[in-house]
Amino acid sequence: MLRTLTKLTSLLAPTDRIRVLLLLLPMAIAAVLELLGIGLLFGALQVAFGGLPPGGVATAWIGELARVVDVNVFMLGVGAFFLVKNAVLLLLTWLTNSISAHLIARFQAEFFGNYLRLPYTSYLETNTASFIQNLQIGTPQALDTVRVVLSTVLEVLLAGVTVALLLAVEPVLSLAGGAVLLTIGIGFQTVAGPMFRRWGQRSYEHELRFLTLAKESFAAIRDVQLAHCQDYLSTVYARDTHANARYYSLSNTNHTTARILLESGLVLGILAMVMMVSRDAASAGGAVATAGLFGIAAMRLLPSANRILNNLTEIRRRDEVIGRVHADLEAARTAVRTADQAVDQTGDAPVGGKIEILGLRFRYGAAESDALDGIDLTIAEGEAVGIVGASGSGKSTLVDVVMGLLSPSVGSIRVGGVDVLRRRRAWQSRIGYVPQRIQLLDDSLRRNIAFGLPDEAIDDRQVRSALALAQLDDVVSRLPLGLDTPMGEHGARLSGGQRQRVGIARALYRDPDVLVFDEATSALDNETEREVIDAIRSFKGRKTILIIAHRLTTVRDCDRVLLMRQGAIADTGTLAQLADRHPELAGAT
């Protein structure tokens, strides 16, 4: 458990740790108020039943107070004190919950920001369901442990002052009862602690599985419905959710087990104490008052002991989550820091000019061969270049390197003599990208065009200009709310061709120098493809254009076409020239 708490502490910034430590002061005040509250209740019982129970100095002040204050005033004072004490405890609970909740919110935002800033290769190597799990489940559970720890500290303080008062009144009986409860607590932690840690690990694994399955199934909903595999996928999903439910039910049952054990030990112990005190007390009133004190103490100790035990087991159950969140956050911070240090983020990228690709090589992770093998290429300003080749030939990798999403193993990309990959952020601001499948927001058309900008920064003139260039004026005029019309999930309100043209408008909004089309027409029918090609053709000569295509009709009008094989440029020329030299391209013209 110490290792778990160390990882949790290391997640917190110094200001967070100070804020948490400062809570110890109001906690100590609450503990003192709790001690005074039990003492005053003891005094109230003493006044009601008469007689001074054993305890000497520890209870003398109560008797003195009862003698000089009217009984009714004394009772009202006790009631008023308890209202104040409980208000303080309520405020303290709010502070604890507030600190924990804001920590969760801040770490979720940091995780999300770091995930978005991770190198593009991280998304090629990691299932994003694990990112979603950390954001929605892992981080809340891990950082909520701060609240659990603070709650435990508070309960220990409150229980501690109660035990201290009992020791002052009946030291022998209190020590005996405390030993019994401590034995029960330590025994339960020894037996159940490892089980909770194991159940937490298994639960985390099953959560990741069913989150991954849900994400992938929704993304492939057409395939799911056409293959009629809903029953199979539902069965697999249910298997993991039920396994996860099993571990949660075991955890919750054991929490109840802790309460039952503590309650049994405490009640039996108090009954034994009352029997002994009733025999030995000097007077009946003193016996009743002392018995009442132990009853009040039991009401205070039982919930505290139960919460302490449950909190300790909950911390153990969260060991796996805290460990993974700690590891992922450190890895994300390191990756982002390394990526930022590798690039000069301050310089401006050249505007316009030819693009020179020099000696470019790239290899993915643990791959045995280069995905790009010594690419040398010059692209004139305003030139339209098509890139064709079989799957795995390196087309998309080349474009990803040019756009700065991947860092080359060797080589450089220069515009106006400047290595633009050393000024990656500025260079990327000069690029407009249109992928095969446009990811539209379930939001207004305006926000989809000006992607990633707050409302106050959106220029409607640029939005309308981009829509006109993408030949979407007529579509906008038919929308019920114009630019404010919601697009629906994945742009459900639009046709496939319209979605692609929205993607083109998005790429044009920032007036880029370079436009990249990555299989932008491969999923379209012939008529819709012609519409998109017409839109692309209108930029020829005004923008530098790179087009990756399987459908060769898309690159027919390009000034030059590159044929790629095994990570290298095998040939270059117009599409007609390449078709003459390469039989696999015959018929494309």
In this predicted structure, the answer to whether residue 480 has a pLDDT above a threshold of 60 is yes
Question: Which range has the top average pLDDT, 434-448, 542-556, 559-573?
Answer: 559-573
Asked whether residue 415 carries a pLDDT value surpassing 80, the answer given is yes
Comparing CA positions, the residue from 11, 8, 99 lying closest to residue 330 is 11
From CA 45, how far away is CA 288, in angstroms rounded?
8
Q: Count each helix (H run) and each strand (E run) in the chain, helices first.
A: 21, 10
Give the residue among 290, 330, 40, 18 at the shortest CA–CA distance from 172: 290
Which DSSP letter does residue 323 get?
H
Tokens of residue 444, six digits:
């207004």
More confident residue, 78 or 512: 512
pLDDT of 262 reads: 67
**In 370-502, beta strands by DSSP E:** 372-379, 384-389, 410-415, 418-419, 431-434
pLDDT higher than 50, residue 58? no
The tokens of 267 are what?
């009640």
- Comparing CA positions, the residue from 349, 393, 350 lying closest to residue 375 is 393
pLDDT at 348 over 70: no
In the chain, domain spans: 15-103, 355-585
CA distance 231 to 511: 48
What proportion of the chain, given as a percentage, has pLDDT over 90?
10
Distances 578 to 56, 396, 555 between C-alpha atoms, Å: 106, 20, 12
SS3 8: helix
pLDDT in tens, 188-218: 767 777 777 777 778 777 877 777 777 767 6
Distances (CA, A) of 103 to 13, 21, 312, 344, 435: 10, 15, 21, 32, 37
In terms of CATH architecture, what is 355-585?
3-Layer(aba) Sandwich (3.40)
Q: Identify which of 96, 97, 87, 91 has the alpha carbon closest to the alpha carbon of residue 37.
A: 87
Q: What is the pTM of this model?
A: 0.70
Here the tokens at position 401 are: 């390197």
Q: Are 143 and 14 in contact (CB under 8 A)?
A: no
Residue with tokens 């003599």: 417
With vertex at residue 427, the alpha carbon angle to CA 426 and CA 429, rounded to the nearest 5 degrees, is 65
Q: Which two tokens stand for residue 344?
A: 């000069």
3 state SS of 383: coil
